[in-house]
Amino acid sequence: MNSLSEVAEVIKKARRPLISGHVMPDGDSLGSILALGLGLQTLGQEVTMVSSDPVPDLYTFLPGAEQIVVGKVPPGNYDLFIALDCSVIDRLGKYVESVLNSEITTLVIDHHVNDNPFGHYNYVEPKSAATGQIVMDLLDLINIEIDNKLAINLYTAIVTDTGSFRYENTTPEVHVKASRLIDLGIPVSKLSNLIFGEQPVESIRLLQVALQSLEISKCGQIAWLSITQEQVQSVGAEDQHVDGLINYPRKIKGVEVAIVFKELNDGMVKVSLRSKYQVDVNLLAKKFGGGGHVRASGCTLKGGLDQAKKLVLTETQNLFRGC
């Protein structure tokens, strides 16, 4: 594993970096991409920011979001590929992953637990609450001034991955960094409303459908929702509107592990896992080729919803007596 100083030196030498995050991008992935990308542009670097999947409507307010190229990576003489918030190749998506077939130098920066990241240079720090937290330190090392635009992106990265400072990963350092960003004049109240206080009507309609599938284990410590593609389409929703549904089974008193099973278009099932106090859902997700954090992880399984539910619920129930 490389040091952050080594990573900074690699980035400073680049002239035409290509930056990407993971599929189905969230606030940390997008905020990190944009903060680093816009920052490097101030140094005169020809930065290209890409994503295999579209930017969710929720995050189109982020400064620079319109610069992110969605889908096929445009041809270019790139001299550095930077993967942010993604240390697993499969999570880059088919469009971005194709870049790795070239001889381009690859740099991975992430906070998800992974003993074998794929970069020529790797910096993975699980103690960081968000990749945006690492990017903030990186910008300081490169001597890039954090202006209001960069601050909004960094704050979004941090506030989303800490659940608005409610999760266990909210450390004193996180608050110090957030305080610094707030001092730069970011509109905290407006950002909170945009990220947590407003939802498109499609999300609410999908929630109405999803809650009808709510199931709770006999021990009362596991709760889950199941969503089909047909249900998503029936309310005019898209896959991006599924984000946030996991919070509802997690809110149930007595529930330790919450799960959302989401049917995808390609015969796969996305499984989102959350826990409150005791269960390491990262270990649970790893049993199915996934991963993430101790309290928030996920995986993707082949087959239908019923098969995915049987496999994951069996493993989850084994963690509790009487389930």
Please, are residues 292 and 246 in contact by the beta-carbon 8 Å criterion? Answer: no
- d(CA 143, CA 121) in angstroms, rounded, equals 20
| 275: its two tokens | 């826990």
Q: What is the pLDDT of residue 101?
A: 72
Condensed to tens digits (0 to 9), the pLDDT of residues 148-169 reads 999 999 999 999 999 999 998 9
Please, are residues 29 and 86 in contact by the beta-carbon 8 Å criterion? Answer: yes
Name residues whose C-beta falls within 8 Å of residue 112's C-beta, 6 or more positions apart in sequence: 85, 86, 87, 124, 126, 291, 292, 293
Where residue 246 falls among pLDDT bands split at 50, 70, 90?
very high
* Backbone Cα Rg of the chain: 19
Q: What is the pLDDT of residue 323?
A: 80
Please, are residues 153 and 64 in contact by the beta-carbon 8 Å criterion? Answer: yes
Condensed to tens digits (0 to 9), the pLDDT of residues 248-263 reads 999 999 999 999 999 9
CA-nearest of 94, 89, 127 to 111 is 127
DSSP string, 15-57: SSEEEE--SS--HHHHHHHHHHHHHHHTTT---EEEESSPPPG
**pLDDT higher than 80, residue 322:** no
Q: What is the pLDDT of residue 94?
A: 87
Segments making up each domain of the chain, as ranges? 4-196, 202-317
Backbone angles phi, psi at 268, to 5 degrees: -105, 165
* C-alpha distances out from residue 131 to 31, 34, 108, 109, 137, Å: 9, 12, 11, 7, 10
Please, are residues 297 and 273 in contact by the beta-carbon 8 Å criterion? Answer: yes
Of 3.30.870.10, 3.40.50.150, 3.40.630.30, 3.90.1640.10, the CATH number of 4-196 is 3.90.1640.10
Q: What is the pLDDT of residue 36?
A: 98
Q: What is the pLDDT of residue 66?
A: 98
Please, are residues 215 and 319 in contact by the beta-carbon 8 Å criterion? Answer: no
- d(CA 8, CA 10) in angstroms, rounded, equals 5
Q: What is the pLDDT of residue 108?
A: 97
The arithmetic mean of pLDDT across residues 206-213, rounded, is: 96
Q: What is the pLDDT of residue 31?
A: 98
Please, are residues 123 and 7 in contact by the beta-carbon 8 Å criterion? Answer: yes
Condensed to tens digits (0 to 9), the pLDDT of residues 62-90 reads 999 999 999 999 999 999 999 999 998 88
Q: What is the pLDDT of residue 68?
A: 98
Condensed to tens digits (0 to 9), the pLDDT of residues 171-195 reads 999 999 999 999 999 999 999 999 9
Condensed to tens digits (0 to 9), the pLDDT of residues 265-305 reads 778 999 999 999 999 999 999 999 888 888 999 999 998 99
**pLDDT higher than 80, residue 115:** no
- d(CA 53, CA 23) in angstroms, rounded, equals 6
Where residue 53 falls among pLDDT bands split at 50, 70, 90?
very high
Q: What percent of the chain has pLDDT over 90?
A: 83
CATH of segment(s) 202-317: 3.10.310.30
3-class state of residue 106 by DSSP: strand
pTM for the whole structure: 0.90
Say which residue the tokens 């997700």 belong to: 285
